[in-house]
A and B are shown apart, each in its own frame.
Chain A
Protein backbone atom coordinates (compact mmCIF):
# COMPACT_ATOMS: atom_id res chain seq x y z
CA UNK A 1 0.00 0.00 0.00
CA UNK A 2 0.82 3.68 -0.05
CA UNK A 3 3.67 4.85 2.15
CA UNK A 4 4.30 8.48 3.01
CA UNK A 5 7.50 9.85 4.47
CA UNK A 6 7.44 13.37 5.94
CA UNK A 7 10.50 15.47 6.82
CA UNK A 8 11.65 17.13 8.97
CA UNK A 9 9.99 15.93 12.21
CA UNK A 10 10.82 19.25 13.90
CA UNK A 11 11.47 22.67 12.39
CA UNK A 12 12.32 25.89 14.19
CA UNK A 13 12.45 29.21 12.31
CA UNK A 14 12.47 32.89 13.21
CA UNK A 15 9.52 35.13 12.51
CA UNK A 16 9.63 36.33 8.91
CA UNK A 17 11.75 33.42 7.72
CA UNK A 18 10.63 30.79 5.25
CA UNK A 19 9.92 27.15 6.07
CA UNK A 20 9.57 24.05 3.92
CA UNK A 21 8.04 20.70 4.86
CA UNK A 22 8.31 17.82 2.42
CA UNK A 23 6.49 14.52 1.92
CA UNK A 24 7.39 11.74 -0.45
CA UNK A 25 4.92 9.05 -1.42
CA UNK A 26 5.19 5.74 -3.23
CA UNK A 27 1.96 5.10 -5.15
CA UNK A 28 2.06 6.60 -8.66
CA UNK A 29 -1.76 6.44 -8.73
CA UNK A 30 -2.07 9.01 -5.95
CA UNK A 31 -4.18 11.93 -7.08
CA UNK A 32 -5.38 13.97 -4.12
CA UNK A 33 -3.05 15.55 -1.61
CA UNK A 34 -3.81 17.43 1.59
CA UNK A 35 -2.08 19.42 4.30
CA UNK A 36 -3.60 19.54 7.76
CA UNK A 37 -2.66 21.85 10.61
CA UNK A 38 -2.94 20.79 14.24
CA UNK A 39 -2.48 23.37 16.98
CA UNK A 40 -1.44 22.08 20.41
CA UNK A 41 -4.19 20.08 22.07
CA UNK A 42 -6.54 20.60 19.15
CA UNK A 43 -7.92 18.64 16.23
CA UNK A 44 -6.72 18.59 12.64
CA UNK A 45 -7.91 21.37 10.37
CA UNK A 46 -7.68 21.16 6.60
CA UNK A 47 -5.14 23.76 5.51
CA UNK A 48 -4.75 23.22 1.80
CA UNK A 49 -5.34 20.67 -0.90
CA UNK A 50 -3.87 20.04 -4.32
CA UNK A 51 -4.91 17.70 -7.04
CA UNK A 52 -2.68 15.91 -9.46
CA UNK A 53 -3.90 18.07 -12.30
CA UNK A 54 -3.17 21.42 -10.63
CA UNK A 55 0.23 20.90 -9.00
CA UNK A 56 0.31 24.28 -7.25
CA UNK A 57 -2.02 25.84 -4.74
CA UNK A 58 -1.58 29.04 -2.78
CA UNK A 59 -3.39 30.51 0.17
CA UNK A 60 -3.14 31.63 3.80
CA UNK A 61 0.57 32.45 3.33
CA UNK A 62 1.34 28.91 2.19
CA UNK A 63 2.18 27.38 -1.18
CA UNK A 64 1.76 23.69 -1.91
CA UNK A 65 3.91 22.25 -4.66
CA UNK A 66 3.45 18.83 -6.18
CA UNK A 67 6.18 17.11 -8.20
CA UNK A 68 4.54 14.04 -9.71
CA UNK A 69 7.70 12.80 -11.35
CA UNK A 70 9.55 12.62 -8.04
CA UNK A 71 6.38 11.79 -6.05
CA UNK A 72 7.12 14.70 -3.75
CA UNK A 73 4.77 17.14 -2.06
CA UNK A 74 5.92 20.24 -0.25
CA UNK A 75 4.37 22.90 1.95
CA UNK A 76 6.17 26.22 1.67
CA UNK A 77 5.72 29.06 4.09
CA UNK A 78 7.27 32.28 2.80
CA UNK A 79 7.12 34.48 5.91
CA UNK A 80 6.44 32.63 9.15
CA UNK A 81 4.68 34.26 12.07
CA UNK A 82 4.10 32.91 15.60
CA UNK A 83 0.52 31.92 14.76
CA UNK A 84 1.92 29.37 12.32
CA UNK A 85 3.45 27.38 15.20
CA UNK A 86 1.70 23.99 15.06
CA UNK A 87 2.05 20.43 13.82
CA UNK A 88 1.55 19.91 10.10
CA UNK A 89 0.58 16.65 8.44
CA UNK A 90 0.48 15.72 4.80
CA UNK A 91 -2.10 13.18 3.65
CA UNK A 92 -2.37 11.30 0.37
CA UNK A 93 -5.32 9.63 -1.28
CA UNK A 94 -4.37 6.81 -3.61
CA UNK A 95 -6.57 5.58 -6.39
CA UNK A 96 -9.82 6.96 -5.01
CA UNK A 97 -10.22 4.28 -2.35
CA UNK A 98 -11.67 6.71 0.20
CA UNK A 99 -8.68 6.39 2.51
CA UNK A 100 -5.92 8.82 3.40
CA UNK A 101 -2.36 7.87 4.28
CA UNK A 102 -0.74 10.40 6.61
CA UNK A 103 2.84 11.47 7.02
CA UNK A 104 4.44 11.34 10.45
CA UNK A 105 4.01 15.06 11.05
CA UNK A 106 6.25 18.12 11.44
CA UNK A 107 6.22 20.31 14.53
CA UNK A 108 6.89 23.87 13.41
CA UNK A 109 8.02 26.44 15.98
CA UNK A 110 8.18 30.11 14.96
CA UNK A 111 10.34 32.18 17.26
CA UNK A 112 9.28 35.84 17.63
Chain B
Protein backbone atom coordinates (compact mmCIF):
# COMPACT_ATOMS: atom_id res chain seq x y z
CA UNK B 1 0.00 0.00 0.00
CA UNK B 2 2.90 2.33 -0.83
CA UNK B 3 1.57 5.85 -1.24
CA UNK B 4 4.04 6.93 -3.97
CA UNK B 5 4.96 4.44 -6.65
CA UNK B 6 7.23 4.77 -9.65
CA UNK B 7 7.64 2.83 -12.87
CA UNK B 8 9.80 1.48 -14.22
CA UNK B 9 12.19 0.79 -11.34
CA UNK B 10 15.08 0.27 -13.72
CA UNK B 11 15.51 1.47 -17.27
CA UNK B 12 18.28 1.23 -19.84
CA UNK B 13 17.92 3.64 -22.76
CA UNK B 14 20.00 4.55 -25.79
CA UNK B 15 21.34 8.01 -26.49
CA UNK B 16 18.80 10.01 -28.47
CA UNK B 17 15.90 7.85 -27.43
CA UNK B 18 12.76 8.99 -25.62
CA UNK B 19 12.26 7.99 -22.00
CA UNK B 20 9.15 8.41 -19.87
CA UNK B 21 9.25 7.91 -16.12
CA UNK B 22 5.92 7.59 -14.36
CA UNK B 23 4.83 8.38 -10.83
CA UNK B 24 1.55 7.69 -9.04
CA UNK B 25 0.50 8.87 -5.58
CA UNK B 26 -2.46 7.96 -3.41
CA UNK B 27 -1.78 10.60 -0.74
CA UNK B 28 -4.24 13.02 -2.37
CA UNK B 29 -1.53 15.66 -2.29
CA UNK B 30 -1.72 18.60 -4.63
CA UNK B 31 2.03 18.94 -5.11
CA UNK B 32 4.31 16.49 -6.87
CA UNK B 33 8.02 16.68 -7.59
CA UNK B 34 10.72 15.06 -9.69
CA UNK B 35 14.32 14.95 -8.43
CA UNK B 36 17.49 13.34 -9.57
CA UNK B 37 20.08 12.02 -7.17
CA UNK B 38 23.78 12.00 -8.00
CA UNK B 39 26.69 11.37 -5.68
CA UNK B 40 27.90 14.61 -4.12
CA UNK B 41 24.82 16.60 -5.15
CA UNK B 42 22.09 15.33 -2.91
CA UNK B 43 18.68 15.67 -4.56
CA UNK B 44 18.15 18.30 -7.21
CA UNK B 45 14.70 19.45 -8.29
CA UNK B 46 13.89 19.00 -11.98
CA UNK B 47 10.18 19.82 -12.29
CA UNK B 48 7.25 20.10 -9.93
CA UNK B 49 3.51 20.56 -10.10
CA UNK B 50 0.82 22.25 -8.01
CA UNK B 51 -2.00 20.17 -9.41
CA UNK B 52 -3.49 18.55 -12.48
CA UNK B 53 -2.53 20.43 -15.64
CA UNK B 54 0.28 22.44 -14.03
CA UNK B 55 4.03 21.99 -14.33
CA UNK B 56 6.78 24.26 -13.10
CA UNK B 57 10.51 24.30 -13.75
CA UNK B 58 12.77 23.37 -10.90
CA UNK B 59 16.46 24.06 -10.52
CA UNK B 60 17.74 21.82 -13.33
CA UNK B 61 14.94 21.54 -15.96
CA UNK B 62 17.07 21.52 -19.13
CA UNK B 63 16.58 18.35 -21.15
CA UNK B 64 13.44 17.34 -19.26
CA UNK B 65 9.72 17.86 -19.67
CA UNK B 66 6.94 17.03 -17.24
CA UNK B 67 3.28 16.19 -17.49
CA UNK B 68 0.59 16.14 -14.79
CA UNK B 69 -2.58 14.73 -16.39
CA UNK B 70 -4.33 14.05 -13.09
CA UNK B 71 -4.03 14.56 -9.32
CA UNK B 72 -2.49 11.11 -8.97
CA UNK B 73 -0.05 10.97 -11.88
CA UNK B 74 3.08 12.93 -12.75
CA UNK B 75 5.47 11.95 -15.56
CA UNK B 76 9.00 12.98 -16.40
CA UNK B 77 9.90 12.91 -20.08
CA UNK B 78 13.34 12.84 -21.64
CA UNK B 79 12.75 13.55 -25.33
CA UNK B 80 16.37 12.98 -26.38
CA UNK B 81 18.17 11.05 -23.66
CA UNK B 82 21.87 11.70 -23.13
CA UNK B 83 24.44 9.79 -21.02
CA UNK B 84 24.61 12.77 -18.62
CA UNK B 85 21.02 11.95 -17.64
CA UNK B 86 22.12 8.63 -16.19
CA UNK B 87 20.99 8.91 -12.59
CA UNK B 88 18.50 7.79 -9.97
CA UNK B 89 15.19 9.66 -10.23
CA UNK B 90 12.82 10.15 -7.32
CA UNK B 91 9.25 11.30 -7.37
CA UNK B 92 7.66 12.87 -4.29
CA UNK B 93 4.32 14.25 -3.21
CA UNK B 94 3.51 16.90 -0.63
CA UNK B 95 0.82 19.13 0.79
CA UNK B 96 0.20 22.46 -0.87
CA UNK B 97 -1.00 24.24 2.24
CA UNK B 98 1.15 25.27 5.11
CA UNK B 99 1.26 22.30 7.43
CA UNK B 100 4.96 21.67 7.23
CA UNK B 101 5.84 21.20 3.55
CA UNK B 102 7.28 17.74 4.13
CA UNK B 103 7.48 15.48 1.10
CA UNK B 104 6.97 11.74 0.72
CA UNK B 105 9.15 9.87 -1.73
CA UNK B 106 8.70 7.00 -4.12
CA UNK B 107 11.16 4.09 -4.39
CA UNK B 108 13.20 5.64 -7.22
CA UNK B 109 13.98 4.75 -10.83
CA UNK B 110 17.52 3.91 -11.87
CA UNK B 111 18.05 5.17 -15.42
CA UNK B 112 21.11 4.28 -17.48
CA UNK B 113 21.60 5.99 -20.84
CA UNK B 114 24.12 4.23 -23.06
Q: How far is the CA of A98 from the CA of B100 in the complex (A)?
A: 9
- Which residues of B in the span 21-68 have a Cβ within 8 Å of any Cβ on A? 31, 33, 35, 40-45, 48, 50, 58-59
Q: Assess the B45–A44 pair: CB atoms within 8 A.
A: no
B19 to chain A, nearest CB (A): 20
Q: Assess the B42–A49 pair: CB atoms within 8 A.
A: no
In the complex, A83 has a CB within 8 A of chain B: no
A44 in contact with B100 given A9-B40, A102-B42, A104-B41 (CB within 8 Å): no
- Interface on chain A toward B: helix, strand, loop, or mixed SS? strand
On B, residues with C-beta under 8 Å from A are 31, 33, 35, 40-45, 48, 50, 58-59, 90, 94, 96, 98, 100-108
On A, residues with C-beta under 8 Å from B are 1, 6, 9, 32, 34, 36, 42-46, 49, 51, 89, 91, 93, 96, 98-100, 102-105
A-B contact pairs, 13 of them (CB 8 A): A9-B40, A32-B100, A42-B107, A43-B105, A44-B43, A46-B102, A46-B104, A93-B100, A98-B50, A98-B94, A99-B58, A102-B43, A103-B42
